[in-house]
Amino acid sequence: MTESPDTDPTEAPAPKFRRRADARPDEILDAATGLFLEQGYAHTSVAQIATAAGLSKGAVYLYFPSKQAVLEGLVARAIQPMSMQVLAEVAAHSGSVREVVTHVLHMMAARLSDPMVLAVPRIVIRESVAAPEIARMYHDAVLAHAIPALTSFIRAGVESGELKPVDPELTVRSVMGPLLIHIFLSEIFGIVPDGGLGMDRLIDNHLSILFDGLSAEGPP
């Protein structure tokens, strides 16, 4: 067969598909998420992440210098935006404490309905005992900012007279704790309510108890 006059036989054919460089970090993080959930953080290597992402090990290191940096990338992609949105909502609140807390918790539930977002607290809960650096990283990236802001918000509600004279820091734990325990029971013990995790149902039930009490109206 005769070569086309416009074809240079020494020129390599152009690839049919060329990955965009700006998509590679997400490909790496997606691959790492699956491996961390399947076999654990400690038992996952950068080489395995690279293979799952269809890249070389060196290509992974171009974007993430270590396995912990990959996990930090997962937090930065999934959890920090949610945390920053919570802080923004609290800082700009114009409604009652109940309205703001309700909005914030349902916003969190909506974000956690994304499996790639929910995967991060699942990994942290599962792995932080065996790998304390995960707990420290999550604390520094998320909790160190969110807890003081929420504590100040509750304290302002107490000072304005909208809330009872409760301990602001302990109240934040009481408000946020059920969400964490809900995920903890599911991930560690496999205890899942009928109908699935149902974050919105949990939040509605939690808020009803939080603001209205658990006892039925009328005499016992």
The full set of domain ranges for the chain reads: 21-67, 79-212
The confidence score (pLDDT) of residue 129 equals 83
Class of the domain covering 79-212: mainly alpha
The confidence score (pLDDT) of residue 11 equals 44
CATH topology of domain 21-67: Arc Repressor Mutant, subunit A (1.10.10)
- Residue 195 tokens read as 């109908």
Question: For the purposes of burial, counting CB atoms within 10 Å of the CB of 220, is it exposed (0-12), middle (13-18) or buried (19 or more)?
Answer: exposed
pLDDT < 70 stretches in the chain: 1-22, 217-220
Q: Are 44 and 53 in contact (CB under 8 A)?
A: no
Segment 22-32, tens digit of pLDDT: 679 999 999 99
The confidence score (pLDDT) of residue 188 equals 81
Contacts of 124 (CB under 8 A, 6+ apart): 134, 135, 138
